[in-house]
Chain A
Amino acid sequence: MNAPSPALVAPRPERLRLVGQRRQLLAVMHQRLMFGMLVYAGIVAIIALRLLYLAAFGDHAGRKEGLTSYIPERGDIVDRNGDPLARTIDAWTIAIHPNKVIGDKLALARRLAQLMPEYSEEQYFALLKSNKTFFYLRRRASPGLVEAVNAIGEPGLAIQREPDRLYPQTSLAAHVIGYTDIDGHGVAGMERAFDGELAASATRGQPLMLSIDSRIQQALEHELLNAMNHFSAIGAAGVVMDVRTGEVLAMTSLPEVNPNLPGAATPEARFNRATQGVYELGSTFKPFTVAMAMDSGTIKSFGQQYNCPHELHVYGHIVHDTHPFGRICTVAEIMEESSNIGTAQIADQLGTSRQKAWLQKMGFTGPVPIELKERGRALTPGSRWGPFETMTVGFGQGIAVAPLQLAMGYATLFNGGVYHPPTLLKVGPNHPLPPGKRVFSEDTSYRMRALLRLVVMKGTGKKADAPGYRVGGKTGTAQKLINGHYSNTINITSFAGVFPMDEPRYVIVAMLDEPKATKETYGFTTAGWNVAPVVSGTIGRIAPMLGVQPDMNREPDMSQVLPFVHETKE
C-alpha cells in the first residue's frame, strides 16, 4: 500500500522528493521495527529458557536447601568422648514493645511483676509508659513462664525463639571452653580461638572435639577445689596431659567461672592461671636441671657426689636449703630432699649457655604453645642471665612459666625425651599428631623415672603416692614475690607428677596459690603437705578411667637410685 503506484499524472517535483523521503523513512522504520522485534523475541526467549530451566532443574518456592540434618547456629563443642560441653539451642525470649501495648498497662505491669519478680511493679509500669520501642524482659525463659506470659494475651508482648549458647556442664572446664558474648561471638577460650570455624556455615555442622575428658576434668577440679578451700588458697591450677601425644586431658583454673553467666565472674576468676599466669614454680624445675646435666655428660650416675654444706656462698649470694645436709650428698639424695644447694652446683657445672639452649628447646622461653588466645609468656632472667641466675634457674627461681608449660616439660622428659606441643584438640584423623622433636636422649628419660619415683617413695612427695599407680614426681614450693621481695610465709606450691612411672603415660600438674597452714599440716605450707594429697586423690580417681591398671608389684628400675641414698632413720 505504501508502494508507489504508477503515476497517471506527472508528479510534481516536490511530491517526487516526498516519495523518496518516505521511502528512506520507511526503510529506517523497518530496520527499527526489526531490531525491536529481535530484542523482544530475545527477551521472551530468555524468559522462556529460564522458565524451562527452572521447570527442569529448579526448586519450588518453599524448598529449603539441603535440610537433611539439623545444623545449629553455632557449632557444638564436645569433649573427647563426644559429651557436649557447649551447645546452641533455641531458647525462648520474652520481650515487649511498649508502644504497641493496647491493654491496661497497670494491670499488665502487675501481672508481669508476679511472673517475673526481677523487677517491681513500678519498674514495669515505668517501662510500659516509656517510649522505648523494644525491651528484653527475659532471655532463656523457661517454657512454663513462656506459657504464662503468652496467656496474658497482650499483642505488645513478643515471645520468640533465639539461638542461645548453653554450657550444660556449667563451670566444668570453663577456662578451656570459654564463653560467648550476647551476639554469639566467642570472647574467651576455645570459643574465641575457633570462633571462625564454629560460626562458619561450612564447618559448624561438625562439632569441635576437644582433647578434654570431662570425667577427668571433673575429678581434677573437684580435688583442687577441695584443697583450695581447705587450705584457704587464693587460686589453683591443674593440668593433666597425655605424655605421648601432648593432648591436654584436663586443665582447670580456680576460682571457677560459670560460662552461662560470664558477666557475673570477677576478672580474677576469668584469668586462666594454667596458661595465662606464669609462676616461679620452684623445685619442680630440678629434674630438668638433672636431666640436662645427664644429657650433657656432667652427671654420669645418680651416685655422683656434691658437697652440700648448710649454706652455699656463691657469686656474692647465699643459697639456703630447707633440709640442709651438711655433708657430701649424691644426686639421688639431692633430688629426694630437694636440695637447692646441690642443684645449684649441678646447674653451675652445666653452664649458662647450655641451660639456655635447653630451655629454649623445651619451649620454656617463649609464649605458651597452645591454641588458646589467653596465654602468657615465660619470664626468664633475660639479659641478666649470669652464673648465679643459672643456679637459681636450676632450682626453679628466677624463671616463671605457666603450669601448662611445666606439664609440657615433664611430658617431654618422660616421652622418651621427645617434645610434642600441647594441644586442646583430640588427636585423631582430623587432627593428626605432629612429628615430635627430640630434646633429651632416651636413656636420660629412662633413668629419670627411678629418680622421680624415689622422690615420691622416700622423699618430699610421699603424700602424692597413690598406691598401686607408681606415681613419680617432684614437689615445688616457691616463695612468692611480693613488692619485689621473696616472702618467707607466702608460697606457691606445686607438684608435677607422672604415672605410671614404669611406663609413663600421663602427667599431672597441680598448683595452689598462697595456701595457708592448717592443723593437719603442722603449720607447714610446703607442697608436700597441701598439693601432693591433691595429686594422690586425683590419680586414685582418674587412673582407672584412663585404663591404668594398678599393680602393687611393679616399679621402675629402682636399682639406679636406691644404692645412693643414705638411710639414717631406718
Chain B
Amino acid sequence: MPDRIHLAVALDGAGWHPAAWREATARPTALTSPAYWRGLARTADGAGLLFATIEDALSLGGRSVEPDAETRRDRVRGRLDALLVASFLAPVTRRLGLVPTATTAHPEPFHLATGLQTLDHASRGRAGVRLVAGSTPQERANFGRHAEGPTGLPASGRVEDDPALLAAFREAGEVADVIRRLADSWEDDAIVRDRETGKFLDRERVHNVVFEGEFFSITGASIVPRSPQGQPLVTALAHQTIPYRFAAEHADLVFVTPADAAAVGGIRGELADAAEATRTLDEPLRVFADLLVLIEETRGEAARVWNRLQDRAALTTDARVVVGTADDVVDEIRALAEAGVDGVRLRPARLPADLDAIVDRVVPRAAAAGILIPDDGAPTLRERVGLPRLASRYARQEVGA
C-alpha cells in the first residue's frame, strides 16, 4: 500500500483549458461574481480537499508573454484579486485551506504580509500563499514604476541565463522572508489587556522588523497581531533549478510538474540537493505534483470533449494532462503517491464541471482505495500538512538569550 497523500485543487476562471468557457457547463458571464466563487469553494470544502489555490496576475493577459495577450478577444478576460477572493471565501468555508497567488514584483510586501495575516484571522488558520517571481512588460506598464525587467524565459529556457529573472527570484525571496518576519513580529501573547497596569500591550513582545534587502527595506512591526497559524503556508510552483532553489530556501510546500510518476524521483533529488544547500526552515519541503484533469464517465466521452476543446484552442501546459475517467485519475494519483509525493494538486480543465467530477467521483474512490490522508481535525492548514506551530522567532531569541 502506498503512502497516503493529500489532494488539493487549483482554481482559475472557467478552468485550465483556454476553450473551457465555451462548454455548455461553463458559466462564462459569472467568473467574477461572488456566487461563482462561493460555489466553487464550498464544493471543494465539502469534499475535504486540503486547500484551493487561486490564480492571479497583474495584467489583462495574465502571465502570458504572447504578444497579443492584451488584445485578443477569444480568451477569458477579467479577474479578481486572488488574496481578496480568498478573504471573501474565508467565512463561507470551514476546513479548506485558501492559497491565493501573489506577485512579488510590484505589490508592497507590507500590504501583502498584513493581507495574509488578516486572511489567517478571518479563516481561523487556513491561510497560505503561492509566491510568483518576476513581472511581465504589460504588468510594468500598468504600474509605471519600472520599465526594466524580465521579458520571459531566455532562449535557453534556463532562468539562470537571464540576470533580470535571477534578480526577480532574489526579490521574491526577500518578499517571502519579510512575510515570515512580519508574521512573527507580534508574539502570541503580546496583547495583555492588563487593567491593573493600564497596559493593553506588552511592548516587549512586539518587535520592529528591521529588514535591509537588495530590493527594499522594512522598519517596523506588523499592524496585525499574530494570527492563528503564526505564519501562512508559503508555497511556490517550480519547474527547474532556480525555482527549485527558491522553493527549497523559502517555501513550506512546492508544486512540481513531473511528466509522469517516474520523473518524481529525479525532481525530488534536485529539490533535496537545493535544500541541502539553502534550506534553513526546520521542516522538510512538502512536494505536491500537479495534474491537469478532464473527467468524463467514459474514456471515449472524455476524448471527444478533449478534441472539441483542442479544436477551439490548443492547450499549452507545464503539467501532465489526464483525459479519462475518475478511475484513470485515481490511478494517476496512486502512481504519484507511490513515487513519493506528499500531495497532488488537480487543475480542473473545466470549471465547475471537472471540480464536480473530482468531488463526486475522484475523492470518494481515492479515499476508498486508501490513498488519501483523512482529515484528522487538526485546527490549522499548516498542522494538517504536518507542520508544527512555531513560536515567533523573536520569542525564541529571548529564550536563547
Same complex for A and B? Answer no
Chain A residues proximal to chain B, CB less than 8 Å:
none
* B interface list, Cβ under 8 A from A: none
